Chains A and B, each alone.
Chain A
Amino acid sequence: MSGSIEVRGLSRTFHTTVRRPGFAGALKSLVNPERVAKEAVVDVTFDVAPGELLALLGPNGAGKSTTIKMLTGILTPTAGEARVAGVVPYEERERNARNIGAVFGQRTQLWWDLPVRESFAILRDIYEVPEREHRARLGEFDELLDLSSFWDTRVRHLSLGQRVRCDLAAALLHDPPVVFLDEPTIGMDVVVKEQVREFLRHQVEERGRTVLLTTHDMTEVERLAERVVLINHGRLVLDGSLDEIRRKFGSTWQVRATLADPHARVEPLPGIALLRHDGLKVVFGPAEADAPTVHQALKAVIERYEVTDIAIDEADLEDVMRAAYVQAEAVSRAHAEVPSGARAEGV
């Protein structure tokens, strides 16, 4: 399995028709449509190593799905290049198809009218998987995802959680080295979500699959991804580990302490700022530069002062990402002032 993903300067521009407002406008658009170019993905570059799980993050409409579609071969880029397991997906779609598995959110690839196991059998034949291998893999998936309790049910009667689990299994039945998951756990309950995460972790750690995942669920990112790529308005904003992101956007911890001695002299510590001082209660936060982690700060405060009570508030990943998105928004706005945003095109 050599399931690397290489993305170099990938860009995609869509052309859409603008609808003029009003009734007359609609009629006018019918006769003479006005076309506009929209850049969905702009010059995106990143790599995913074999056996790595990468979370592709970004607000809605950031270009995540477009990127995934180009990597699965459904969409051709307008510029740049991508290689998935050594294959250029949009040039050799069918060869690429054998190397990848994909689940697009709530869209199911299963046959609506048939029991799930029949769908698996059809896919087995389409991907030409030997029967023995097929059975072994189904057994493995069943253990992790509990499929056998409902795999004789017709798809139309499955609950969402059951269906998505089946879709995950269906996407991996042919043992693809690379897996693309576009919001796989959207709308699922916590138990099923956890089951799916466990399954994905297993696929990455035990089977060495490369997984590219988009999600809005930060718990998921925290549990699964070592590395994230953040895109907004089609541009890559950040590529790094979760720790890096935390350091960059998430240094918003607070240490709240109640002092034992009302007359103690309270002053900032190295890298730690004094945010509030009200009688016995003191609040510390990170200084502008060289801020320690919240745990280091906690240690420093306890060592320096005698306290009767101490608590920490740490921004969770959700807050970190909010900060990151807001900042990314500012960056994109700066980009948009360069005249490369949406521009009208004559037809």
Chain B
Amino acid sequence: MAAVHAWRAARVTPLGELHTPPRMTAALLRLTVQVVLVASLWNGLYAQTGTTAGLDRDQAVTYAVLAVLASRLRELDQYAGRDTVLQHMHFGTIVYWYLRPLAPQRYYALRALGEQLYGLAWALAGYAVCLAVGVVRPPESAAVAGVFALSMLLGQWVLYYVMLVIDQLCFWTLRNGAAMLILIFAQNLLSGVYAPLWFFPDWFITLSGFLPFQATLSVPLSLYVGRIPLSEAGAQLAVQAAWVVVLALFTRLLWRRAARRVISQGG
């Protein structure tokens, strides 16, 4: 029963997408254009440079393209389904989350899991195509691939919590649509979606070392392209795992406080 139960809530997002073919076409188009643009940009930028910030051209292009693919994992049209915390707060339908014998945090986690798995299918398909046409390089060795996979899993886990915290903020600030966009931009910037963190000044890299964002993407991708050698992988994985623990505790606290807030305000 529990397994079926999980499956239903998890498949809300993919099912919604499958029922809206134009949205899938749009996603495909966007992904293609974005990969082409990003690949040509980094090729162009490297036209007059050999290696900079410890990355050569192939590494940089691979990193950038993988970043585009990875950001597909949680970059759906979340608002279309009217199932975001922001919208539930706005429409007053958040009460139903607290009227069911399924804890809101569990429901949220299941929905996110389904969404991330659906995104993974896209990312893997895109990766296969990019690998086939030679836009990205394959990983150096099986060991690198394995460590990358593990690190990516941890990274997605951290990302889940980061997105969750942003969503949880909606319980306190009712109309923070713009704030969300900015936070998501910050998340993208600090996790290295727009440009590898290695290009940034040292103080910026140090600063982001204290934040969870780079654990979501920068670390796994750097492992993939070999910018972080395998010998340092253990430490990086440990840091990622530590973020998972810290954020798990923090978001649990926030869920509890959010519930208290809903219960005291009546949704």
Contacts and interface: CB of A to CB of B under 8 A. Distances in A.
Per the CB under 8 Å rule, do A and B touch in the complex?
yes
Interface of A: 14, 65-66, 69, 72-76, 90, 93-95, 97-98, 100, 102, 104, 107-109, 111-115, 118, 121-123, 125-128, 154, 156
B5 A128 contact: yes
Task: Sort A-B residue pairs by CB-CB distance and give the 7 closest, nearest first.
Answer: A113-B16, A112-B82, A109-B96, A75-B266, A113-B81, A125-B8, A125-B5
Contacts of B264: 75-76
Interface in B68-102: 80-83, 91-93, 95-96, 98-102
Contacts of B80: 112-113
Nearest to B92: A107
Contacts of B265: 14, 75
B262 interface: yes
A40 to B, nearest CB: 9
Interface in B238-267: 262-267
Contact of A118 (B7, B15, B91, B101): B15
Contacts of A97: 99-101
Given A114-B15, A114-B16, A126-B9, A72 B99 contact: yes
B109 interface: no
Given A98-B101, A125-B5, A111 B81 contact: yes
Given A115-B19, A126-B9, 6 more contacts: A66-B266, A74-B267, A104-B92, A107-B91, A112-B80, A128-B5
B235 interface: no
Contacts, number: 97
Q: How would you classify the secondary structure of chain B's contact residues: helix, strand, loop or mixed?
A: helix
Contacts of A107: 91-93, 95-96
B133 interface: no
B12 interface: yes
Given A69-B266, A93-B98, A107-B93, A154 B19 contact: yes
Contacts of A74: 95, 98-99, 262-263, 266-267
A122 B12 contact: yes
A76 B263 contact: yes
B103 interface: yes
A109 B5 CA distance: 18
B141 to A, nearest CB: 43
Contact of B101 (A69, A94, A104): A94
Contact of B103 (A94, A113, A123, A156): A94
Interface in B1-26: 1, 4-5, 7-9, 12, 15-16, 19-20
Contacts of B19: 113-115, 154
A126 B262 CA distance: 21
A75 B82 CA distance: 24
Nearest to B77: A113
Contacts of B20: 113
Contacts of B267: 69, 74-75
Contacts of B263: 74-76, 90
A66 B20 CA distance: 38
Contacts of A104: 92-93, 95
B4 A125 contact: yes
Contacts of A93: 98
A72 B15 CA distance: 30
A126 B102 contact: yes
A97 B16 CA distance: 27
Contacts of A98: 101
Contacts of A118: 15
A76 B262 CA distance: 10
16 contacts: A69-B267, A73-B98, A94-B103, A97-B101, A107-B93, A108-B93, A112-B80, A113-B15, A113-B80, A114-B16, A122-B8, A122-B9, A125-B1, A125-B4, A125-B5, A126-B102
A263 B36 CA distance: 104
Identify which of A14, A75, A113 gathers the most chain B CB atoms within 10 Å of its CB: A113
A18 to B, nearest CB: 17
B98 to A, nearest CB: 5
Nearest to B9: A122
B99 A102 contact: yes
Given A76-B264, A126-B101, A69 B95 contact: yes
Nearest to A182: B95
A57 B226 CA distance: 70
Nearest to A124: B8
A228 to B, nearest CB: 23
Contact of A112 (B1, B81, B107): B81
A111 B16 contact: yes
A111 B9 CA distance: 10
Nearest to B81: A113
Given A93-B98, A111-B12, A112-B81, A126 B91 contact: no
Identify which of B7, B8, B99, B101 gathers the most chain A CB atoms within 10 Å of its CB: B99
